Structure 1
């Protein structure tokens, strides 16, 4: 039975290795570049601009596994999770895409090949649906797909079904790209009678793959125009196909979820998961396991719990899981945060980002749990009283004011209350609740506004930050400041107060585009405001810091002086552009920027690349960047209309980034010999020579298919070289050789060490052989067989096993039980000859019985087994026990 990791890899390898696709890592589950989505909910999200014709990629065939969340918004599976065996808030979508390359024939035949030849699914259980047409919408049937299924695959013709527009036609919206789709279903009934259940929403015949053929553009008058380039967009539910390939009836019965179930059971002490649809304990298992996946991935990818939009959905997910865990699994204290590490352990190999900050993610979850649990008990008690009252009144409805009170006082979002009410056979008064909550928001808004709400409503004053590219001190006027989440426009700011100062004009650069915000000072006669960071909020610039001296008030004239750190930031930012160019030049055009962080100390650059860079590649990259620095190339920034900028030959932009119109383009090099040209709003040098020197400090993996380089420039790079040189000098002194001979000397020492280890191993093996032969010579006779036992020297387990097997063969009919150990570690190994196994003496059972005597445990097959323990001093007790067991068996 394949593991879930093997299934995922088989899918990717099939398309990448066999059919020339490019593996593109999953985009974050939080789509920061698409304000229309709360979460990534399909594999096509990151390629939407290609289908819309507004973006391009350097590849035409793609395969991946996309992280998805469907909770909140148009696609919302939250309330169904736990109540059946196939809904999830978080899931993976396996997919393959063609951007104007192959089309229906290849998509259908490759899908059939993977399902039936690679995965070996029963052809008679597979059913395909094709679009039957829709005359009312002027849509003809997809006869091409129907014919391809019947002529290019071995599917039984009776297993090809016609489907309507609802299931077999895909639209991106009222206008835009669209096309028919063919879905692949699998019959899970015992007697293969599930064909009648296709497209009926039955768990006994489920869809496992959807192949969408994007071939039309829907115009504003609803007419269809064939697209010049046709695309393929497929999606396969990973958890569903894992259940099918592992022979399970439920997604939750697979090894995708078993590590979480085991941890939940261990933490709660509840009964193990049994898969029941009616049992509230099993429902709670599914809810908690599913929800921790959604929470952990979303928080890892940058989301945060809050009371608005995406954050509200996450908080709802957490509180729903908390409620189920407390009510049905018996948890009395926060528990969800302990599951985050379990998920990182089980899925971290596939999604390394889970291992990047598990502690921080667990901390956020723990804080949210504690916050909710402070009021949850009282809220549950209040709900019980309310539900009893509603039952007794006979109207079966919980009033809007009660729902409102549970929300605002006890943190029970109305969706949670509605679900609890449903479990008690009640409903809630939604209109009444909404009226009260809207009034509550209106009243709350009459007081001081938070920074975020002020920005939304235009209450934060705008700031002209056009001088931000100049290092000349900038004059400005104080408009106010932000204090205690309120905008202050009058009064006086006293010394020692931490705040966000608001000016009408500023030369400070606010954090954006991967470049940190400026620091510095805002000076005025008799005083100084020290700026530690600069942030942009709407049209306002917040100068975050503290008034060190003097008094400030609105209307006061001030002078902004940016810290000299800006100069180091500019070196690192310009060098980041050079690095981006060098990476593409040396590694290939597949390299795309995935993120960056530029501050005064370093540049950190994330890019698409499937493997670690070699030493030679790093050397070439460093050499190329330093060549461009030494060339003293001009760095020129120009602002132009976005459409015109996109047409510039060779211009680079970061995928997913939303750029303003007009956009700033930074060019490095002359018009005829451009080294780099990117959309960028950051601070840059005037000439590459000002960067001085560039040195890569290291590389690491960020996620599958994404690498990260950290580098330094200027004085920091020179100092790093001095440090390396100092280390080399120390080593050359230690080894008494020249610096250039250090590597040769280290290699010689490694060879010498390897030889000494081999000699030691040979000596250990020789000692071990001698002891084992002594045990054979002094073996005890029990009936017709020999019993060999005793302690042997500590040695590699494979050596011990090898000598144990040798002695067992020499002994003939025998039981061998040996042990070894030192400190607080001990080991046992047993071997039983074939004839004694037939009499009921088994090595695995023998080891299982004697291992506890050395404070250990173990087991294994009938012929040979082993155990580990903590008490070498108790090995004799284990040998004596073993002798008793064998003697009793042969008595």
Structure 2
């Protein structure tokens, strides 16, 4: 039974028993569940229903939920079952059936749906817990006895095994787990479910959600008793496919084979190769799904989880000799195996490939030197009989070479060595702000490190004078040339270094004697210091030379307008949408402002208009904008907004508008002196940045006025084209569009009807089965089922209909099989799967009808030929 068939059988079973099938929620939890970074269980998207805060769409639900867990990431590849990304099948009851019903359903599906021998199934139940004030779960024991499970196969287990909770607080309750006894070949006579053994394999967890835990160890009954179950699809696939490892199941075999092909090393040849192949298979699945759900690599939160996956996979790939650039290859196979059920993989394919390609290229630059240095460090430690690696060496690996500390820990542990984690964290804290602010600037880790080394050897930190002036007479504290670029440091600098979302200043540096000049192309923040990247214009700069530094005032002023407008926008959004709105990223430059903020849904037209009007009202008030230096505690007491995750010192810079009632934020950027200098604020777009993160882009000042004038010209031209007045353009255009759509619908309806009514061009006899293989041009592939039904009626029974329909960059396939052909071994799902591979896609369905899609319509003839070959193979037995 394939993984797709297991998923469908589970969901269909519960659908037929009055459960509403739900699509999988995102791996990024919704706003209502801040307890976890990523969705780790099938019930997470349903928490508001279990807590009684929202009404569920039905009292019985079923789903196959994407899940992601990182606690055991280091175990992936070392065992046969540990995964980061996995699918969790579940059935849920909100105040309907409870323990007896859930147990009866699980028993029936286990025996009749999955064909398990009842004598091989053992179960565990909650034995009780004094800290929670609960005794043994006798209700569950009685329910298992009622359906015929002998008491000796019902094992009581402690809270650690049989009490489920999603986090420290929240919905929870006792659970009962189903185990398959694989026999004495996998263990000992006295082994029991819930113990550390391979004989008993857990495959289904039934959670009897009765309580809300808040605070910890304090239970309150939920408004209704609920059922939450979880059946791991990958683990069940291993059981039903007769293999001992999830990595030998149908979802993983193509990924393992790709690793063998790219590395030239076979699975089973060594433990190291097996581990690498498994890590690559698991992690590339995980990263594909994370990016498809809006996560991007970073050093924070979910982005850090994604980056860690990527880097672990890259290291393992290199270890077994895979050439760089392999992550997108793996993502393609993930799409081929999983894309038919999870459409987001196909929809976000370009985005997934872009992030994988960029991250792999960037990280590969740091690995060459880092891995060699780590090997040297480990060899020295082992030769000296040391127990571990010191904090200084681990920090140098991270800071100088950009080598992830997690990998240092992992690779050292493989050699039996520890690492001074506490010492490393202390050193990291000293440079955390500098490392984060300058990471990735101007060519990546190599240039960043060279800038840091250069600045440290060029004297005291530059004194930033850019808050007071845009022109500064100063001196060159140090200058050097690296790869054709001039790196310089000023004693005093008016140039703002990139940070806090604001881009760096541009400008020029000129020698006092007029003998040299250079253009400022980048200003890199290095903690309290900065360094300039220059493009020489005339002459040469020298250490100690007196120079005149001049900021591009036009760009600076435009940037200041956008930065102050960003603060006003933040305030307006919180006022309109609620205090849950927080900054999640920003860009402030002379060309525009971009503001990412936490919010779970798109802004309505009314919200967008209100926010825009509110910011412009603030602009017209011409309130003063002031920057104050104060203590962090004082700023917090005044209600100043801080960027989430940002670290601040004891003394901070606080920017407030007016008296601070509108806006008060901790900010190191440059701003206008009064809000009227912004001129005008115009939102250009509002989109999604990531799950539960929205993005607004806007322009201000002359650019904003220019955009409004452009819109006026466009409206005027549209009015002339439509032969109406500007005020009537919307109504006239809507009427024209409506009329066009009506005509298109009439044309499409006629074309579809003609295609459906068309007789088959050729009927083929395959061992007594009448078959049609045709490519039909239809306006909409949704017409294919009607065509297939009509053709089946014409052909009689037994018969098979295989139809293909080309589209723009897309191929659609449908296979329909009559009962007589099914009885002879022809299954629509198997046929369409083979056909879909020929057009670069995938799909599936029931035995009598299945559909698929692909990306290569030119290969439809090959798909029909493949379908015929599969039918002939099935009939041949």
What TM-score comes out, normalization by structure 1 length? 0.62
Instruction: Find the counterpart in structure 2 of residue 802 from structure 1.
Output: 786
Instruction: Find the counterpart in structure 2 of residue 556 from structure 1.
Output: 545
User: Residues 744 and 769 (structure 1 numbering): CA distance in 2 closer, same or farther, change over 3 Å?
Assistant: same
Q: 1:598 aligns with which of 584, 588, 591?
A: 588
Instruction: Find the counterpart in structure 1 of residue 600 from structure 2.
Output: 610
* Structure-1 separation of matches of 2:383 and 2:101: 53
Instruction: Find the counterpart in structure 1 of residue 751 from structure 2.
Output: 764
Q: Are 1:626 and 2:616 counterparts?
A: yes
CA contact under 8 A between 1:26 and 1:65: conserved in structure 2?
Answer: no
Q: Are 1:473 and 2:471 counterparts?
A: yes
* Structure-2 separation of matches of 1:67 and 1:785: 46
Q: 2:315 aligns with which of 297, 316, 319?
A: 319
List per-residue Cα deviations over 1:338-392 (Å, max 9, x = no partner): 225656886894999996563253144257669979999x99xx99xxxxxxxxx
Report the alpha carbon displacement of residue 276 of structure 1 after superposing the two structures with TM: 8.0
- Map 1:571-582; keep pairs closer than 5 Å: 571-582=561-572
CA contact under 8 A between 2:485 and 2:535: conserved in structure 1?
Answer: yes
* Structure-2 separation of matches of 1:826 and 1:213: 51
Instruction: Find the counterpart in structure 1 of residue 297 from structure 2.
Output: 301
Report the alpha carbon displacement of residue 831 of structure 1 after superposing the two structures with TM: 6.4
* Structure-2 separation of matches of 1:783 and 1:830: 18
What is the alpha-carbon root mean square deviation over aligned residues? 6.9
User: Residues 709 and 202 (structure 1 numbering): CA distance in 2 closer, same or farther, change over 3 Å?
Assistant: farther
Instruction: Find the counterpart in structure 2 of residue 49 from structure 1.
Output: none
Mean Cα deviation higher: 207-216 or 808-817: 207-216
Q: Are 1:638 and 2:636 counterparts?
A: no
Report the alpha carbon displacement of residue 613 of structure 1 after superposing the two structures with TM: 1.9
* Structure-1 separation of matches of 2:511 and 2:697: 39
List per-residue Cα deviations over 1:671-691 (Å, max 9, x = no partner): 5xx111111111111111110
Instruction: Find the counterpart in structure 2 of residue 532 from structure 1.
Output: 521
- Secondary structure class of the residue paired with 1:684: coil
CA contact under 8 A between 2:804 and 2:814: conserved in structure 1?
Answer: no
User: Residues 506 and 189 (structure 1 numbering): CA distance in 2 closer, same or farther, change over 3 Å?
Assistant: same
Q: Are 1:587 and 2:585 counterparts?
A: no
Instruction: Find the counterpart in structure 2 of residue 106 from structure 1.
Output: none
Unaligned ranges ≥5, structure 2: 1-5, 12-19, 42-52, 54-64, 89-93, 108-120, 144-153, 184-188, 219-228, 301-305, 377-381, 390-396, 420-446
List per-residue Cα deviations over 1:554-580 (Å, max 9, x = no partner): 333333222111111110000001111
* Structure-1 separation of matches of 2:481 and 2:404: 30
CA contact under 8 A between 1:28 and 1:301: conserved in structure 2?
Answer: no
Report the alpha carbon displacement of residue 726 of structure 1 after superposing the two structures with TM: 2.5
Report the alpha carbon displacement of residue 617 of structure 1 after superposing the two structures with TM: 1.8
List per-residue Cα deviations over 1:41-85 (Å, max 9, x = no partner): 99xxxxxxxxxxxxxxxx9xxxx9997756xxxxx964x432212
List per-residue Cα deviations over 1:252-275 (Å, max 9, x = no partner): 966999656524424644999999
* Structure-2 separation of matches of 1:873 and 1:689: 62
Q: Are 1:285 and 2:277 counterparts?
A: yes
Report the alpha carbon displacement of residue 547 of structure 1 after superposing the two structures with TM: 3.8
* Structure-1 separation of matches of 2:246 and 2:815: 34
* Structure-2 separation of matches of 1:871 and 1:350: 22
Unaligned ranges ≥5, structure 1: 30-40, 43-58, 71-75, 95-108, 131-141, 169-176, 217-225, 228-237, 305-309, 384-396, 432-447, 486-496
List per-residue Cα deviations over 1:606-645 (Å, max 9, x = no partner): 1111122222221221111111111112212211111111
Q: Are 1:83 and 2:93 counterparts?
A: no
Q: 1:542 aligns with which of 525, 531, 544?
A: 531
Report the alpha carbon displacement of residue 479 of structure 1 after superposing the two structures with TM: 1.6
- Map 1:162-241; keep pairs closer than 5 Å: 186=177, 188-190=179-181, 198=194, 200=196, 204=200
Mean Cα deviation higher: 527-536 or 364-373: 364-373
CA contact under 8 A between 1:582 and 1:625: conserved in structure 2?
Answer: yes
* Structure-1 separation of matches of 2:469 and 2:782: 68
* Structure-1 separation of matches of 2:99 and 2:509: 65
- Map 1:466-865; keep pairs closer than 5 Å: 466-484=464-482, 498-525=485-512, 526=514, 527-564=516-553, 565-648=555-638, 650-670=639-659, 674-768=661-755, 771-772=758-759, 794=778, 796-799=780-783, 801-802=785-786, 805-806=789-790, 808-809=792-793, 837=821, 840=824, 844=828
CA contact under 8 A between 2:618 and 2:675: conserved in structure 1?
Answer: yes
CA contact under 8 A between 2:784 and 2:803: conserved in structure 1?
Answer: no
What TM-score comes out, normalization by structure 2 length? 0.63
List per-residue Cα deviations over 1:410-452 (Å, max 9, x = no partner): x9999999999999xxx89999xxxxxxxxxxxxxxxx99546
User: Residues 255 and 522 (structure 1 numbering): CA distance in 2 closer, same or farther, change over 3 Å?
Assistant: same
List per-residue Cα deviations over 1:312-335 (Å, max 9, x = no partner): 9976753333323x4xxxx57763
- Secondary structure class of the residue paired with 1:627: helix
* Structure-1 separation of matches of 2:744 and 2:383: 76
* Structure-2 separation of matches of 1:607 and 1:194: 56
Mean Cα deviation higher: 475-484 or 593-602: 475-484
List per-residue Cα deviations over 1:459-516 (Å, max 9, x = no partner): 453335352212352232322124449xxxxxxxxxxx63222222222222211111
* Structure-2 separation of matches of 1:421 and 1:464: 39
CA contact under 8 A between 2:497 and 2:505: conserved in structure 1?
Answer: yes
CA contact under 8 A between 1:640 and 1:665: conserved in structure 2?
Answer: yes
* Structure-1 separation of matches of 2:86 and 2:795: 56
User: Residues 256 and 27 (structure 1 numbering): CA distance in 2 closer, same or farther, change over 3 Å?
Assistant: farther
- Secondary structure class of the residue paired with 1:560: strand
CA contact under 8 A between 1:524 and 1:558: conserved in structure 2?
Answer: yes
Q: 1:159 aligns with which of 156, 160, 169?
A: 156
List per-residue Cα deviations over 1:692-716 (Å, max 9, x = no partner): 1111111222221111111111111
Q: Are 1:23 and 2:33 counterparts?
A: yes
- Secondary structure class of the residue paired with 1:188: strand
User: Residues 714 and 795 (structure 1 numbering): CA distance in 2 closer, same or farther, change over 3 Å?
Assistant: closer
List per-residue Cα deviations over 1:273-330 (Å, max 9, x = no partner): 99989877654431322454688879942359xxxxx999976753333323x4xxxx
* Structure-2 separation of matches of 1:851 and 1:12: 30
* Structure-2 separation of matches of 1:254 and 1:786: 40
Instruction: Find the counterpart in structure 2 of residue 233 from structure 1.
Output: none
List per-residue Cα deviations over 1:509-534 (Å, max 9, x = no partner): 22211111222223332133322222
Report the alpha carbon displacement of residue 4 of structure 1 after superposing the two structures with TM: 15
Give the count of matched residue pairs: 725
Report the alpha carbon displacement of residue 5 of structure 1 after superposing the two structures with TM: 14
* Structure-2 separation of matches of 1:14 and 1:372: 29
CA contact under 8 A between 2:657 and 2:663: conserved in structure 1?
Answer: yes
* Structure-1 separation of matches of 2:133 and 2:544: 74
CA contact under 8 A between 1:145 and 1:182: conserved in structure 2?
Answer: no
